[in-house]
Chains A and B, each alone.
Chain A
Amino acid sequence: MSADKSHKIGFIATLVVVGVGAFAFTMGFYVLPSAGPSDTIWQRMCRGAGFVLTLPGGPRQVAPPTFTSVVVPHDVFGIGTAEQIGHGATLALRCTVCHGAHGLSGADAPNLAGQYPEVIYKQLLDYQRGARTDPVMNAMAASLTNDNVLDLTHYYASLQREKTDLPLADAPALVRVGDPIRNIAPCASCHGTADRKKGAPSLSGEPKAYLNAQLSAFASGSRKNDANADMRSVARGLSDADRSAVANYYAGISQ
């Protein structure tokens, strides 16, 4: 075939591609995103491209979010230094009334001994910033510096947890397999035994009253510092009996 003809194939193909492109872009950025004849080309193009347009009357007023704003830095996941743990032990003296001398509560407050560091870190910051509310804890957390938070985190994480292994075979169905038709994921998928997702607390050995209260608070929406509303979605689908069964299991109370 001659050079002229070969030149033609490339040229025609380019023309077709440009033609299809021109059609697609005209439809996608001019014809379809039109909101009426008063629309300017610029408005239509921005809308088509997904850019946020300023609405008439100025930008929309949005209430400040009340959910969690905590990003756990990667270094929190590791083990703290001896110095951090020592500082933490001193700071923790003011926590002992509720959380116990070694992080094991006798007062139905959560046991903190051996809790994952990222969990303690996030909850302290959520209390400090008001994303989680509790009259005592908001006050306690208010004056903590970031170093204080890290020291406390690593201190409690370094303590021995009360209970470690709860046999999965004995767990209620909700813990093992959830309930798919109610869109309830298994507790064990995030909170351990079957699998653990970083950021989800260990629940084994936590007081039953505390677990029950938190599930109720998530269900009613009075607690809302769970990222992506994961726990609120799960808790809303649970009946009183479900909550009790799950709380009993994690508290180590046999059924």
Chain B
Amino acid sequence: MTVPVTYGFDGTATSNVVAVATTTTWGTSTNVTFPTSTSTNSSSRLVSWRPGGPVWSGYDGVYWDPIPVREELDEVRRWFYAGDEAAARAEPLPPDPEVERRRQERVAVRALARDRARQTLLSLLPPTERDRYEAGEGFTVRGSAGGEYHVRGGHYVRNVTRTGGGRRVRLCAHPRMLVDGGELPTEDALIAQLLMLRFDEPGFLAIANAEEM
């Protein structure tokens, strides 16, 4: 199903965008993908929800932001039933101040969580790898069984590459990201990958999905 909608990109965006949504239903949950474009950005936003359950939204299916059910469902409804694309282009729906206030609160809480996680991650890296990570280059880990791995920062999916000893292999293993009703910061996921490789490399390889590069 394709539905023209309009919505504010998120609480931090400087402009509203117009999008066309497609929906898919998996079991009892519904995913809505919003391909979006602005003058400075082109990406997609995925919102999924399960009746009575948590609502998730994210970008490119990688960065997820858990959002309390009620207000996001209201927002999804506003997007979904906006209907007229031409009208939507002309006059974006006004933001709900209360929703916006709560969104900004969540953004602030998540920023604090990310900062804590980042500080912990940096404390576990040797100085050279700390500098590389701060420069946006990820970091290298020596596994407990002797393997060498490069871990990219920024996200936690398919971000580990076995670099030593012959062919390069991309690996994907990460912690369960939804914890006590909130999402683990990405840097915490990197810590989990770092520690498991460093102290239980065989365990990591046993669960990771592998893909030759």
A and B, one complex?
Answer: no
> A interface vs B, CB < 8 Å?
none
